[in-house]
Amino acid sequence: MIRYPNGKAYKPLNTSSPSPKKLEASYSNRGMTLEDDLNETNEYYVSKGIAIVHKKPTPVQIVKVDYPKRSAAVIKEAYFKQASTTDYNGVYKGKHLDFEAKETRNKTSFPLRNFHEHQIEHMKQIVKQNGICFVILMFSTLQEIYLFEAQFLFPYWDAMKKDGRKSIPKADIEKKGHFMELGYHPRIDYIKTIDKLYF
């Protein structure tokens, strides 16, 4: 069992394996996730010397281990050492890149509950230091991916905290965000969008 720093048990949203039928209809008909595609994209950027971007590991403190055999250890209980910030960070053309990747099955809006307070605070700090900070939002049912700059996300978050709307309308994401087509190599070429926005 893995726990958060406050002791609350971590429960993944969906731990069951998709059935073969569901897998066929899944993302890009390949069973790939947004994270898989971003990791593949980042490997491409590093291999071509374009950018250095990595997924941040989440630090875990192991507290209970069983040793059923000398050659095997089974982790029985662990805690997240600290709340994680964003999923990815790195460097591109001398600028710090920092971003979060989120998916939704909704078709008309993006739920703000997908974000956490500490992630928003972290992104605000990055923007304050003139880093390049954004979120990659995927509408998985529609197979649409957008780069949405962090400074556009903050007003929606702040309004929600004051009992406002709890999601970002898709129409707003289409207007303020940047649609990204899926490619082959790289799969999600977000650097192309970053070039247009910042360089």
- Residues comprising the binding site for Mg(2+)? 85, 87, 100, 119
Nearest to 127 by CA among 102, 147, 157, 97: 97
Which residues touch 143 (CB under 8 Å, ≥6 apart)? 27, 28, 182
CA angle 88, 92, 98 (to 5 degrees): 25
Residue positions in the annotated binding site?
Answer: 85, 87, 100, 119
How far lies 6's CA from each of 64, 82, 83, 135, in Å?
17, 9, 10, 26
Contact 60, 79 (CB under 8 A): yes
How far out from the chain centre does Cα 125 lie?
Answer: 18
